[in-house]
Amino acid sequence: MISKHRVVTGVILDEQTELTVSDLCRSCSVRREKIMALVEEGILTPATQKPDDAYTFSGSSVKRAKRALKLQRELELDLSGVAVALELLEEIERLRSALRLYEETRGLLRE
Amino acid sequence: MQYKDYYKTLGVDQDATQDQIKQAYRRLARKYHPDVSKEKDAEEQFKAVGEAYEVLKDPEKRAAYDQLGNQWQAGQEFHPPPNWDAGFEFSGDDASVFSDFFESLFGRARRPSSGFAAHGRDHHAKVMIDLEDAYTGATRQISLNVPYVDETGHVRTRERTLNVRIPKGVQQGQQVRLSGQGDPGVGQGKAGDLYLEIEFRPHALYRAKGRDVYLDLPVAPWELALGAQVRVPTPAGKVEMSIPASSQSGSKLRLAGKGIPGKTSGDLYVILQCVVPPAKTDQERQIYEDMEREMAFNPRQRLNV
Instruction: Enumerate residues 97 to 156 of chain B having a beta carbon within 8 A of any beta carbon in chain A.
Output: 119, 122, 139, 141
A29/B contact by beta carbon, under 8 A: yes
Give the contacts of B46 (CB within 8 A, at least 6 positions apart): A74, B29, B32, B33, B34, B37
> In this structure, what CATH number is given to the domain that contains residue B20?
1.10.287.110
pLDDT of residue B222 exceeding 90, the answer is: yes
Each residue's pLDDT tens digit in chain A (111 positions)? 445 567 888 989 988 888 999 889 988 888 999 999 999 999 999 988 776 668 899 998 998 999 999 999 888 899 999 999 999 998 998 898 888 877 776 665 555
Q: Are residues B106 and B16 in the same domain?
A: yes
- Residue B115, sorted as left (phi over 0), alpha (psi -120 to 50) or beta, turns out to be left
Give residue B83's pLDDT: 62
Shortest CA distance from B203: residue in chain A: A104
Instruction: Kindly state whether residues B182 and B78 are assigned to the same domain.
Output: no
Domain at B253, CATH number: 2.60.260.20
User: What is the model's pLDDT at position A109?
Assistant: 54
| Angle between helical axes of A79-110 and A60-74 (0-180°, round to 10) | 120
**How many residues are recorded in chain A?**
111
Answer positive or negative: Cα dihedral of A3, A8, A12, A16. positive
CA A89/CA B182 separation, integer angstroms: 27
Chain B partners within 8 Å of A69 (Cβ): none
Tens digits of per-residue pLDDT, B204-213? 899 998 899 9
Put simply, whether A96 touches B (Cβ < 8 Å) is: no
User: In the CATH hierarchy, which fold is given to the domain comprising A19-110?
Assistant: Multidrug-efflux Transporter Regulator; Chain: A; Domain 2 (1.10.1660)
Instruction: Indicate if B151 and B185 belong to the same structural domain.
Output: yes
Number of domains, chain B: 3
| Helix residue ranges, H only, chain B | 6-10, 18-32, 42-56, 59-67, 100-106, 131-136, 221-226, 282-295
Distance of alpha carbon B237 from alpha carbon B69, whole angstroms: 68
pLDDT at B113: 47
Mean pLDDT of the B219-226 span: 97
Identify the domain containing residue B23 by its residue range.
Answer: 1-111
Same domain, B63 and B127: no
Give percent above pLDDT 90 in chain B. 45
What whole-number percentage of chain B has pLDDT above 70? Answer: 89
* Mean pLDDT along residues B240-249: 96
Map residue B206 onto helix, strand or coil: strand
- One-character DSSP codes across B114-131: TT--BPPPPEEEEEEE-H
Residues in chain A closer than 8 A to B122 (CB atoms): 27, 29
Query: Which of B111, B130, B157 delimits the end of a domain?
Result: B111
Q: What is the pLDDT of residues B21-41, one digit of tens each?
A: 999 998 998 888 888 887 788
With beta carbons under 8 A apart, name residues in chain B contacting A63.
175, 197
d(CA B24, CA B20): 6
| pLDDT tens string B85-118 | 655 555 444 445 677 788 777 765 444 444 566 7
Nearest beta carbon to residue A10 from set B178, B216, B271: B178
What is the rounded CA–CA span in Å between residue A61 and residue A25? 11
Nearest CB partner across the interface for B166, out of A2, A10, A76:
A10
Indicate whether B84 pLDDT > 70.
no
B126: exposed, middle or buried (Cβ count in 10 Å: 0-12, 13-18, 19+): exposed
Chain B contact for A99 (CB, 8 A cutoff): no
Last residue of a domain, one of B111, B140, B168: B111
Q: Show residues of chain A in contact with B172, CB under 8 Å.
A: 97
CA of B290 to nearest chain A CA: how many angstroms apart? 27
Mean residue pLDDT of chain B comes to 85
Is the CB of B27 inside 8 Å of chain A's CB atoms? no
Give the residues across from A20 on adjacent strands: A56
Domain limit, last residue, from B184, B201, B218? B201
Same domain for B24 and B9: yes
Do B139 and B86 sit in the same domain of this protein? Answer: no
Instruction: Note the pLDDT of residue A74.
Output: 87
Is there a contact between B219 and B274 (Cβ–Cβ < 8 Å)?
A: yes
Query: Does B202 sit within 8 Å of A7, measured CB to CB?
Result: no
- Rounded to the nearest angstrom, the minimum Cα separation between B212 and chain A is 13
**Is A110 in the B-facing interface, judged by CB distances under 8 Å?**
no
Distance, CA of B144 to CA of B99 (rounded, Å): 17
Q: What is the pLDDT of residue B168?
A: 93
Residues from chain A that touch B161, judged by Cβ atoms under 8 A, are 3, 5
Average confidence (pLDDT) over B68-82: 71
Q: B103 and B6 share a domain?
A: yes
Examine the domain organization and report whether B60 and B78 are in the same domain.
Answer: yes
Residues B51 and B128 placed together within one structural domain of the fold: no
CB-nearest to A76 from B26, B167, B193 is B26
What is the ipTM score, two decimals?
0.76
Same domain? For B156 and B216 the reply is no
